[in-house]
Every structure is written in structure tokens, then in C-alpha cells.
């Protein structure tokens, strides 16, 4: 895996999130399925950003970025800001 793959996945998810939010902002409420998908997309984005940060930190400190591992959505979303 390399950062370009992760960035491409982030781009795909951001586009999907934007599409769902645009639909909702147009006065049309999201269906239950779309609301669930939006929540899933947000969680996956958090995971992707976390993995990318891990990879970059490992690289910065001389460790193998390929040893970074995706954490669960629950773990990533429980981080304090």
C-alpha cells in the first residue's frame, strides 16, 4: 500500500459524502438508507485519515509505513480532539 492509494480512497469517500450532503441540503430529506450510508462514509473517512497519519508518522520517524494498520471505526471515533 502507498499513500496514493489511501488518498484516492479518501477522495472517493469525500465525493460520496458531498453527494449525500448536497442531496440533503436541497430540501430533500435523506432516506434511512442514505443516512446510514452517510454515517458509514464518515466513519470510513475517519479510518482512512487515521491510517494516513499513522503511515506518515512512521515514515517520519524511520519506521516502515507498511506496518501501520487500520483501526476500527469505533476506536478512531473515540479519540479526543
What's the pLDDT tens digit per position in 36-65? 999 999 999 999 999 999 999 999 999 999
Give the chain's domain count: 1
How confident is the model at residue 78, as a pLDDT? 87
How confident is the model at residue 11, as a pLDDT? 97
Name residues whose C-beta falls within 8 Å of residue 43's C-beta, 6 or more positions apart in sequence. 73, 76, 77
Mean pLDDT of 11-35: 91
Name residues whose C-beta falls within 8 Å of residue 14's C-beta, 6 or more positions apart in sequence. 45
Q: Length of the chain in residues, anyone?
A: 81
Under DSSP, is residue 58 helix (H, G, I), strand (E, B) or coil?
helix
Share of the chain above pLDDT 70, in %: 96
Taking a C-beta distance cutoff of 8 angstroms, is the pair 65, 56 a contact?
Answer: yes
pLDDT over 70 (residue 80): no
Q: Is 32 or 80 the better-scoring residue by pLDDT?
A: 32
Range of the domain at 19: 3-77
Amino acid at each position: 500500500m502507498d499513500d496514493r492509494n489511501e488518498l484516492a480512497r479518501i477522495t472517493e469517500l469525500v465525493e460520496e459524502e458531498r453527494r449525500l450532503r448536497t442531496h440533503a441540503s436541497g430540501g430533500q430529506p435523506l432516506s434511512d438508507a442514505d443516512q446510514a450510508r452517510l454515517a458509514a462514509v464518515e466513519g470510513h473517512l475517519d479510518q482512512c485519515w487515521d491510517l494516513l497519519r499513522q503511515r506518515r508518522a512512521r515514515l517520519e520517524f524511520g519506521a516502515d509505513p507498511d506496518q501501520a494498520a487500520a483501526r476500527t471505526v469505533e476506536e478512531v471515533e473515540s479519540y479526543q480532539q
